[in-house]
Amino acid sequence: MIFSPLKKGPEMVRVLFLVGMLVFLGLPSAAIAQALTVIPAEGTFRFTPSSGEKDIPSTYKLEASDFAFKAKRLHGVKGAYTVYSLQFPSPVKSPFEENNTVHARYYLPEGKGPFPATVVLDILAGSETIPKLMADHLARNGIAALHVQLPYYGPRKPKNARVKMLSPNLLTTLPAIRQAVLDLRVANAWLRDRPEVDASRLGISGTSLGSLISALTGAVEDRYRKVVILLGGGGFVDAYYSHPQAKDIVKSYEATGGTKELARYLFAPYDPITWAARLSGRDVLIMAGSQDEVIFPEMTKKLWEKAGKPEMVWFDCTHLGAVRFLPDALNRIASHMAKPCPELAATK
């Protein structure tokens, strides 16, 4: 557990004094609740397998385990939210030490919880602009947001090695995708352990690369009750193998004896479309560009069909042109995360 019972002594005296002063000053209950919502500097939390763990693809299964975490208050936006840094060990040990610690930022809204909450994931470029905008908007609307850095991004990037999460080197890329999913399963456990989070409205949201990971993770981990896929799709080998821009990569690959069928087989466990049927009946929102030249519309349609045809929004734009519709997308994400889930009670 994150919090241990208060023991008699200085700690209890400080807390009781603080509560007494807040009541004496006549602060509203929401302000008191906010003042007492403390993210400890360090602690532990426990990942436990889900009730449906036996049905999870073996690549993404996790055993019960305790995780230590560190947190630090970074800054606050008056009247809106407070931002904390968060670190915990990855359940996967890659060859690079920097990559084996998960780094995140937690945007905690002001006010009285419990709050809906969502993980937010970045695009391929990794500039953090999109997840910061998303987390800011969500937190201002009463939704806690946890921006998690994907493998080999930000502080997780090795100092003396040129390695990326996505590259033609499948020996790095495929394990990195698996690591991302398992990291996010653990992040889900941290959020569920937070007393200010409403576990019945816990989601995962991603854009472009982040949406591929959110779709894959959401399909694997059903305790992400809500899934947002912005500019995402599935069926990557079929979509890209014959694409002119992939010509040189495919030529090099086939020179080593590779075939399209082998590529499809190797990539299948890491393609969201493989497991998308697990999203059927879940609270899923898909938003896509009707002229997207990176994640083709047919890729999004295939994922949508496999996922049971959930709520779908088309924007009249290309992949990069979707920035024009970002305010609309952010409002839709906030509304999606705030509403109650249609099925099942909270799963702690």
What is the pLDDT, as a whole number, of residue 24? Answer: 54
Confidence of residue 8 (pLDDT cuts 50, 70, 90): very low
Give 166-179 pLDDT, tens digit per residue.
887 888 999 999 99
- The percentage of the chain sitting over the pLDDT mark of 70, rounded to a whole number, equals 88
2 pLDDT above the threshold of 60? no
User: Mean of the pLDDT values across residues 148-163?
Assistant: 95
CB atoms within 10 A of CB 68: 11
11 pLDDT above the threshold of 50? no
Give 249-258 pLDDT, tens digit per residue.
888 888 989 8
Give 198-210 pLDDT, tens digit per residue.
999 999 999 999 9
What is the pLDDT, as a whole number, of residue 103? Answer: 99
Could you confirm whether domain 39-235+271-338 is CATH 3.40.50.1820? yes
Helix, coil or strand: residue 120: strand
Give 69-104 pLDDT, tens digit per residue.
999 999 999 999 999 999 999 999 999 999 999 999
Q: Could you tell me where the beta strands, DSSP code E, fall in the chain?
A: 42-47, 65-77, 81-89, 101-109, 115-121, 144-148, 197-207, 226-230, 283-289, 311-315
What is the pLDDT, as a whole number, of residue 199? Answer: 96
Domain boundaries, the chain: 1-36, 39-235+271-338
33 pLDDT above the threshold of 90? no
What is the pLDDT, as a whole number, of residue 344? Answer: 52
29 pLDDT above the threshold of 60? no
Distance CA 53, CA 287 (A): 29
Specify whether the CB–CB gap between 47 and 89 falls below 8 A: no
